Structure 1
Amino acid sequence: MTDSVQLDPYEGPAGGWGSAKSLTEILLREQIPVTGGLMLRHQNKPGGFMCVSCAWAKPGKPAVFEYCENGAKATAWEVTRKRIGAEFFAAHTVTELTGWRDYDLEELGRLTVPLRWDAASDRYLPVSWDAAFAEIGAELKALDPKAAVFYASGRASLETSYMYGLLARLHGSNNLPDSSNMCHESTSVALPESIGSPVGTVLLEAFEHTDCILFFGQNPGSNAPRMLHPLQDASRRGVPIITFNPFRERGLERFTNPQAPLEMLTKSETRISSQYLQVKAGGDFGAIYGICKALLALDDAAIASGAERVLDTAFIAEHTHGFEAFAASVRGKSWDELERRSGLTRKALEQTAATYAKAKATIGVYGMGLTQHRMGVETVQALVNLLLMRGNIGKRGAGICPVRGHSNVQGQRTVGITEKPELVPNDKLRELYAFEPPMEKGLNTVEACEGILDGSVKAFVALGGNFIRAVPETALMEEAWKTLRLTVQISTKLNRNHLIHGEVAYILPCLGRIEIDEQAGGRQAVSMEDSTACIHGSKGYAEPAGPELLSEPRIVAGIAKATLTPNPRIDWDRWGGDYASVRDAIEATYPDQFKDFNARMWTPGGFRRPIPAADRTWKTDTGKANFVTPRSLSADPDTEQADPEVMRLITMRSNDQFNTTIYGYDDRFRGVKGTRMVLFMNRDDIARLGLRDAQTVHLVGATDDKVVRRVEGFRVLAYDIPTGCVGGYYPECNPLIPLWHHAERSKVPAAKSVPVRIEAASA
């Protein structure tokens, strides 16, 4: 990291020597130049450990180096040699540490001892594990179970997640929000209604057989760099890759594979996107409708000329419901409206439709650019509609492909981390554990925040993550957080959520996934699910950061034993010492999903859970795939502003971070060095608003709810972004997002279209 700020255009590709240099830098910074490199040989390999960063698919035949720049950074971040123990906390008050930057907190290194906040000294003091478990259990038992929230980040394994969900339900609560609530819950609501499955339908091998890829609102260069390898292969085969994204992201433009010696030596590049369409914030909805409208026109022309139909009429007739109503809705939209909504021209959308019409098998890839809008659910369903028009669900080389974020965020939902009781096999839980599971809906992330603000939530237990930095409405949330009775953070490193705490506060340091996990039953392994619903085993190789660390399953077991009435059908000690027994319990609870779990967990490439829609079996109310007709094409209808000075803020990551974890203050691909306080703006908007490049400005929320939302100190950077839109980094911009500004049915924060005003800083 550097203290000097530089804003210079980056002309190189994604990957390449910049990636190699960045990897070398972090290995040196974390003091593991040799051991870190050796550790990476086992990453994403059968018999090795699964990446602790993103959830992109792992191939059955991995490359020699099956990791990317950001995955390597995540590994270095976890296996760092840096440590903080009791002596550090004795030297620093919590009040003092709240003034430190997020990067500096996490860069201190691994937590090594359990800690309890002491009000008299305002310090975290060491505590024994037994004492910590006993007090946490006593505090939870003293509260109404519905006043306690059990949050899970996407890091936790399937085994830990299953135990954690069971702990909450045995305690009497479905308050199990997780990081999916902040990103892909729109997917989890949209896809079951459309195709009867809550997850994507494609496997990694689909990219080898596709002949068209439609790419919406996802930046693989920063968020899932290993995805660039199948995209590179597809591009070299001549597969059209059509990208819809407000920003021109380098990873979607050009790529040099840093693991290909010839490419590195010759500095050769592969073009990724064959057509790059810069939709405005929220414009994907209108763009998809425009492609559908052009597709219908092509089909009409084919009928008139006697040519082969463009629509897959046989598929539509046999496998779908609601097409006629949807087609009528599309035909009823004018091109003027579609161009205005999308920010694209009719010609560009018709060109996309013509390319799509020629393809035999198309994959629709998307990320949070679709899900994080007020109408995020409907936008995802619009993309499904587009694929259904040509039968591109349930055939080779085709399907819907949501790109998930954290490494096991999809998997923990599979094994019970959900606030929705209808998604849990409660009959099985009754049978296996002889208790009555709670049937009242629990709190998701937004609802948990609302409960903290109104005082109805009293306790917050966090299985990983940095919740207070990840959620919207930061200023109000930080103040309300201090009124909680109990906060518990199960963590590997120090972050801001440890410093914003409740009256009784614990930090419980845990083993990381990459560390050797020796328990009573011997050396343990865990498992997780990737974005394609494939299950992988994972075994640690690094020495633990300290002798006092406990594994996540052991910590969950300890809290459970201290909180719950003993249940003769659950041996928490056994589960905490032998994770194979937890996998047996998962299989017993989900027999159709996890048949022969222990025997199959080391299958190269993972074993796939059954996804009915991938086989054209539709578990919907109609028994078919549903064309869903939206009521509007506005992605964010209740925050639309006629005022030309109100801009649409798009929050995003740099290529030097993962979620709330900041690895450094550079964003190589966007030409930013030494700062994260940057506001990306179109040059025309800079001139129109009377600003200048590199000027310091402040952002102020532009809503009418009487809440003042303000973040100061951004540097204006002219960038290739649609007019009316600005971009800024997450989580620094989170204070500008109202808590109520979320997807209407999934409650995912609508972080990709936040209304703001720009104020010039005083001279």
Structure 2
Amino acid sequence: MSKQHSDKPEIEPFEGPAGGWGSVRSLAEILPREKVPVDTLRQLARQNKPDGFMCVSCAWPKPADHHPAEFCEEGAKATAWELTTLRTTPEFFQELTLSDLRGWKDYDLEQHGRLTHPLRYDADTDKYVACSWDEAFDAIGAAMRPLDPKSVVFYSSGRTSLEASYMYGLMARMFGNQNLPDSSNMCHESTSVGLKAAIGVPVGTTQLKDFEECDCILFFGQNVGSNAPRMLHDLCKARKRGVEIITFNPLKERGLERFTDPQNPIEMTTGGETQISTQYHQVKTGGDIAAMMGIAKFLIEWNDAALAVGDPPVLDRDFIDQHTQDFEAFADAARKAEWSDIVRESGLAQSALEEAARVYAKSKATMIIYGMGLTQHVKGVENVRMVVNLLLLLGNIGKPGAGPTPVRGHSNVQGQRTVGITEKAELVPVEKLKELYGFAPPTEKGLDTVETCRGVIDGSVKAVVALGGNFLRAVPETAAMEAAWPNLDISVQIATKLNRNHLFPGKTSYLLPCLGRIEEDVQESGPQVVSVEDSTSCIHGSRGKAKPASPHLLSEPRIVAEIARRILPANPRIDWDSWVADYGRIRDAIEATYPEIFRDYNARLFTPGGFWKGNKASERIWETESKKAEFLVPSGLSATGFDDARGRFRLMTLRSNDQFNTTIYGYHDRFRGVKGTRDVLFIHPEDMDQAGLSEGQIVALESDAEDGTHRRRDGLIVTPYDIPLGCLGAYYPEANVLMPVEHHAEQSHVPAAKSVPVRIVT
């Protein structure tokens, strides 16, 4: 077992830029640690390239005109993590019980290596034991067939390919439910709900080419340096041609401050840097509605004053009159908003918001880029609607260089939704499925992530099949979920590495190891390819060529097909074996189901830069109820969903630049200067003083939710940091223990992990 965490952590400010030699050193560190084969460097050269493989990390677009090395520090870590030569064999479990393993850190579990054999949980010994694939599939079928279909959940990770996702969603519906929670439920469902209501599409409207045509970017709640570093190339090029980038984020993230391009020999030699943000506003966590309302208020009142004296309008009234609804209601709310309230809720000065508004007003084409800093709040959907409000004021949707740009996390989390991984019947072509496969798909809403958690805790969910991911670690209410999970009749985990979810087996449990996306997948017709959709709705083929970690691994489509054959009655219209023999036939089925999106799917699969699935809002065709883009009056200025109180802090959960979602690559959060630990509490020095705390002191956090449940996170190191007053930061997923399952975004049910009410306990 390899351990990176230390009893003597180092916490020192980091002064360097994003990228640069720090990225190179980070890559040089992880490759030997994973004991990767020499072939890994050859695989990295294929990453995010036409006819190569699509990164298993983030969903940032893959350009047609690619760099020599089209991968970032995080993407290289993800590739090394998958291609590691470390192995977790059945022999590993002979010495350790699952109770023993629950004392291991997340990093140590996954760092032990790739799973090599299918495993069955043996309750008598509290260990996993090797079994055959047929034994596993037959037992899964026997356990699931008698269950009420409504009590079974089919979860999927956002790394799953379009092909496997389509099969998985079809299997669930044929089984009798739409209980299909996925990674989107935990991150960008607020986008799917908010954008769909406002402009008629559930996704952003921009493409990579819009970075070349915009002259202003507003940036909200996303840490590009850690979560989508390849975007820094696009931001850097935009800055070099004079684009204004105005950032609103509680923390000063290094990637949004300055960047040294590792692929630029001159910058690497001279230490040259590009300043990314031209304005940087440290908004309070949960204060983005107030900040955006301040900008809108200034623009609307400026427009009122201009019209009163006969000057040209500030707003795009032609666009507003022709393409929008409810402008006057929103404008009236903005006029009535008090600056004192806006300043208090946003944590920003009126002058700062006016400065941002003046730059925005001069722009001819503005993109608004945002991440989970907007979506993971109780008012997360309203945050997204406020993004749309700002864009509509100046006609910044449906023209080159303009529009909303949500930054998705997992590499295919958006694509899964496109091919049917959703709990909502209205997002699925029900009649087409009925026509193609001769069954009546369920039309009632299925369970999302929050509803699945409720069902696991109250016992109404009897079975969970997980196609990848680390569900139990990613969701809120950690203690209650871990206590309830063993009550499941059956738990099936399809995975590449051991993670914490696997340590809490149901009464019957199987751990099924699958091929990774980078590995060669050979089926009856020969080597196969899969596909994914990026954040800008472009679809890419992905061809794995690395040697599989074990000869005993099966592909995700094969595993799904084998489970489907055991739990479903025979259907003459579906030949699961034929689909597995040739994934091109799965793509034919996807095209038949979604002909407008996937026209000539197989022929276009390896189009450089991907093929775009289209977007009606980008054409100013609004598929909303009103057939226009709709303004929304927010219900208030705070997105937190709770009132401030004496001693109560707003906790935001954070990722380090040594992790991707729940996967921990190491213990070095370089940009925040933290090494050797993740047990850190970031706090403003003035809040430290007021609370009587000292740097390095060990404290706990307790949930301050008013629901009577005790939740606590111990052992946190007090660390002074440049964070807004009244706000705290701690690492995800460890801080999830503090989050109630009912603390989620209204309408979208996204866990509200960016503003959790807590108190500090000494």
Q: Which moved more, 1:169-178 or 1:307-316?
A: 307-316
Instruction: Using the TM superposition, give the Cα deviation of residue 631 of structure 1 relative to its aligned residue in structure 2, in angstroms.
Output: 2.1
- Among 301, 315, 340, the alignment partner of 2:319 is 315
Do 2:301 and 2:335's aligned partners in 1 also have CA atoms closer than 8 Å? no
1:665 CA drift (Å): 0.9
Displacement of 1:2? 4.9
Q: How does 1:553-568 map to 2 (within 5 A)?
A: 553-568=557-572
**Aligned position for 2:60:** 56
Please state how far the C-alpha of 1:263 moved relative to its aligned partner. 0.8
Structure 1 SS opposite 2:598: coil
Contact 2:37 2:85 in 1 (8 A): no
1:165–1:416 CA contact under 8 A, matched in 2: yes
CA distance in 2, matches of 1:560, 1:46: 33
1:532 aligns with 2:536: yes
The question of whether the paired residues in 1 share the 8 Å contact of 2:366 and 2:403 is answered with yes
- Residue identity (%): 62
Aligned partners of 1:157 and 1:408 also within 8 Å: yes
**Residue aligned with 1:438, SS:** coil
Cα shift at 1:693: 1.0
SS at match of 1:67: coil
Please, which moves more after superposition, 626-635 or 200-209?
626-635
Equivalent residue for 2:655?
Answer: 653
CA-to-partner distance for each residue in 1:417-469, whole Å, 9 max, x for gaps? 00011111000000000001011110000000000011000000000000010
Q: Which residue of 2 aligns with 1:409?
A: 413
Q: SS at 1:482's partner residue?
A: helix
Residues 553-612 of structure 1: CA deviation (Å, up to 9, x unaligned): 000000000110000000000111211000000000001111110011111000011210
1:243-262 aligned at under 5 Å gives the runs: 243-262=247-266
For 1:340, the equivalent position in structure 2 comes to 344
Q: In the alignment, what sits opposite 2:755?
A: 753
State the partner residue of 2:682: 680
In the alignment, structure 1 residue 619 sits paired with structure 2 residue 609 = no
1:198 aligns with 2:218: no
Measured after TM superposition, the shift of residue 58 of structure 1 is: 0.7
2:520 paired residue number: 516
Query: For residue 23 of structure 1, what is the aligned residue in structure 2?
Result: 27
Aligned residues: 758
1:600 matched to 2:604: yes
The aligned amino acid for 2:416 is Q
Residues 14, 254 of structure 1: 8 Å contact kept: yes
Paired position in structure 2 for 1:640: 643
Q: CA–CA distance in 1 between the matches of 2:270 and 2:179?
A: 54
Q: Corresponding residue for 2:437?
A: 433
Matching residue within 609, 615, 631 for 2:613: 609
2:13 equivalent to 1:9: yes
In the TM superposition, what are the counterparts of 1:677-716 in structure 2 within 5 Å? Answer: 677-716=679-718
Q: Deviations over 1:178-206 (max 9, x none)?
A: 01000000001000110000000000110
Distance in 1 between residues matched to 2:576 and 2:460, nearest whole Å:
30
The answer to which of 24-33 and 10-19 deviates more is 24-33
Check the 8 A contact 1:356/1:362 in 2, yes or no: yes
In 2, Cα distance between equivalents of 1:537 and 1:703: 45
Partner of 1:234: 238
- 1:655-682 Cα offsets, whole Å, 9 max, x none, are 0000000000110000000000000000
Would the aligned equivalents of 2:514 and 2:555 in 1 still touch at CA under 8 Å?
A: yes
Could you tell me how far 1:28 is from its partner in structure 2?
A: 0.8
Q: Which residue of the other structure, out of 389, 392, 399, is the alignment partner of 2:396?
A: 392
The one-letter amino acid of 2:520's match is: I
**Residues in 2 aligned to 1:548 and 1:469: alpha-carbon distance in whole angstroms:** 27
Q: Which of 128, 146, 155 is the aligned partner of 1:142?
A: 146
Render the CA deviation track for 1:346-404: whole Å, top value 9, x for unaligned.
10000011000000000001001110111100111011000000000000000100000
Query: What is the CA–CA distance in structure 1 between the aligned matches of 2:56 and 2:35, rounded to whole Å?
Result: 19
Could you say which residue in structure 2 is the equivalent of 1:737?
Answer: 739
- Tell me the CA shift for residue 304 of structure 1: 3.2
Q: 1:632 deviation in Å?
A: 1.8
Match of 1:484 in 2: 488
Deviations 1:495-553 (A, max 9, x none): 01111110100000000000000000110000000000000000002100011100000
Match of 1:43 among 47, 52, 71: 47
Query: Corresponding residue for 1:158?
Result: 162
Within 2, Cα distance between the matches of 1:27 and 1:577? 34
Q: Secondary structure at the match of 2:734?
A: coil
Give the deviation of 1:257 after TM superposition.
0.8
- Equivalent position of 2:212 in the other structure: 208
Aligned match of 1:70: 74
Give the residue type in structure 2 aligned to 1:326: F
Out of 174, 181, 187, the position equivalent to 1:183 is 187
Deviates more, 1:39-48 or 1:25-34: 25-34
Please state how far the C-alpha of 1:33 moved relative to its aligned partner.
6.2
Q: Partners of 1:630 and 1:302 in 2: how far apart?
A: 26
RMSD: 0.8
Checking the alignment, whether the CA contact within 8 Å between 2:160 and 2:468 is kept in structure 1 is yes
Q: How far, CA to CA, are the matches of 1:604 and 1:168 in structure 2?
A: 33
| Equivalent in the alignment of 1:474 | 478
Distance (whole Å) between structure 2 residues aligned to residue 373 and residue 593 of structure 1? 32
Q: Which residue of 1 aligns with 2:172?
A: 168
Deviations 1:10-69 (A, max 9, x none): 000011111000001111111126322221000000000000000001101110000000
Q: Cα distance, 1:235 vs. partner? A: 1.0
Contact kept in structure 2, 1:537 and 1:601, CA below 8 Å? yes
Specify every segment of 5 or more residues in structure 2 that has no aligned partner in the other structure, as ranges.
none
Distance 1:546 1:148 in 2: 30
CA contact 1:24–1:33 (8 Å) conserved in 2: no
After TM superposition, what 4+ stretches of structure 1 lie above 4 angstroms from structure 2?
A: none
Deviations 1:145-186 (A, max 9, x none): 010000001010000000000000000010000010000000
**Mapped pair 1:86 → 2:79:** no
Aligned equivalent of 1:722: 724
Q: Offset at 1:636?
A: 2.1
Determine whether 1:359 maps to 2:363. Answer: yes
Residue aligned with 1:165, SS: helix
One-letter amino acid matched to 1:589: T
Question: What residue is the counterpart of 2:107 in the other structure?
Answer: 103
Q: Contact (CA 8 Å) 2:61, 2:536: kept in 1 or not?
A: yes
Q: CA deviation at 1:317?
A: 0.9
* Equivalent pair of 2:167/2:560 in contact (CA under 8 Å): yes
Q: Match of 2:285?
A: 281
Alpha-carbon distance, 1:642 to partner: 2.3
Which residue, 294, 297, 300 being the options, matches 2:301?
Answer: 297
Partners of 2:414 and 2:534 within 8 A in 1? yes
Provide the C-alpha distance between the structure 1 equivalents of 2:706 and 2:621, rounded to a whole number of angstroms: 46
Distance in 2 (CA, whole Å) between partners of 1:163 and 1:307 is 59
Name the aligned partner's letter for residue 411 of structure 1: G
3-state SS, counterpart of residue 337 of structure 1:
helix
Q: What amino acid does structure 1 have at the position aligned with 2:739?
A: I
Q: Distance in 1 between matches of 2:309 and 2:706?
A: 54
- Measured after TM superposition, the shift of residue 641 of structure 1 is 2.7
